[in-house]
Amino acid sequence: MITGASNGLGAEMARQVATQGAHTILTARRTEKLAELSTQIQADYGVISAYYKMDMTNFVEVEEVVQRIGDTKIDVLVNCAGFGIFEEAVTTDFVTVERMFDTNVLGLMRLTQLVLPSMLARKSGHIINIASQAGKIATPKSSAYAATKFAVLGYSNALRMEVSPVGIHVTTVNPGPIATSFFDIADKSGDYLNNVGFLVLKPEKVAAKIVGIMGKPKREINLPFLMNIISRMYQVMPRVIEFFGKGAFEKK
């Protein structure tokens, strides 16, 4: 089951797991794109691909979708739906902040809570939460977005300790910038991806990394390599990294 599957990383993961013979359950707000993807997957790979309209901010709808899925066994849940806005904390519209938390954090938590009981009963399953390098190092103009991803990491780390004893894996994926439509909303200037250049990841590469660890007890995936090194250094000497990284952090 993949949320936010209508395009970008979510859609690419759906295609790649289907090549391995996995059946897919796809959710997103835009059903027209989901329908196209589902049809394509079934035609190209001969697997079952169901899809459901699901707005992660609508917790009643989240519950209804899980009820409609019913007894279908969900081996892997990928919480991929999310969005961000690059704007200074003082000027970020608070309604947007609330919607960001509802989508990136609370919707993720509610869906996970609804899917977990059947995994616990089977004593198997894998929860994969798409977080961000922004959850490791907060930078200017990403206060609300970074806060949501810090929350996802905290939730995932606690959840992992709760469910790993019964054989359920929890993985967080912490990518840097990915060349997807995410930045159509996040970056009003349209310059960010060009500014960060070689750090930009291809969705196909990130999806392949995620699909490759499904069913395995992998704690985290951190991409790209350079950002992972910097985030590790940040844990030890945050002031130094903030001082020397000031120019890079302010490319938004």
Decide: residue 195, CB within 10 A, 0-12 exposed, 13-18 middle, 19+ buried.
Answer: middle
Omega cis (within 30) before 224: yes
Q: Measuring CA to CA, which residue among 166, 68, 152 is closest to residue 114? A: 68
Decide: residue 176, CB within 10 A, 0-12 exposed, 13-18 middle, 19+ buried.
Answer: buried
Decide: residue 75, CB within 10 A, 0-12 exposed, 13-18 middle, 19+ buried.
Answer: middle
Query: Token digits for 128?
Result: 């994969």
Alpha helices in 164-191 (DSSP H): 182-186
DSSP states of 33-54 as a string? HHHHHHHHHHHHH---EEEEE-
Helix (H, G, I), strand (E, B) or coil at 221: strand
Q: What is the DSSP letter of 164?
A: G
State the Cα–Cα distance between residues 59 and 198, nearest whole angstrom: 38
CB atoms under 10 Å from CB of 143, counted, come to: 17
Question: Token match 């004593």: residue?
Answer: 123
Pick the catalytic residue from 45, 145, 155, 192.
Answer: 145
| 234: annotated active-site residue | no
Active site residues: 145
